[in-house]
Amino acid sequence: MEALRQVFNAMSTYKIVRFFQDHPKQIIETGLTLERVQDHCSDPESSSNKCTSVDGQARTKKRGPWFDGWYKE
C-alpha cells in the first residue's frame, strides 16, 4: 500500500495558494511536487505572523494577515 501511495504522489502535482483574511486568495505557483509545497509552506516567510522580509511585511501592511497553503491539482 505504501509503495502505491508513493507512486501516486510522484505522479501528482500541487499548487501553492496564498490566503488573505480580507482579500481573494492568490495562486502563487503550480505544477509542484509534494515535497516542494511542504518545504515552501513550512518556511517562516510563508505567513504574515512570522515573515521578516521587506516584501512580506509590505504585503501584510497592504493586505492584512495572510498565509500560504497548498492543494493537489
Among 35, 23, 13, CA closest to 59? 23
Q: How confident is the model at residue 29 (pLDDT cuts 50, 70, 90)?
A: very high
- What was the pLDDT predicted at 60? 96
Cα separations (Å) of 67 from 6, 13, 20, 37, 45?
27, 20, 7, 13, 9
Kindly report, residue by residue over 34-47, the tens digit of the pLDDT: 999 999 999 999 99
What is the C-alpha separation between 54 and 71, in angstroms, rounded?
27
Residues 6+ apart with CB under 8 A from 1: none
Q: How far apart are CA 26 and CA 16, in angstroms?
A: 9
Query: pTM for the complete prediction?
Result: 0.83
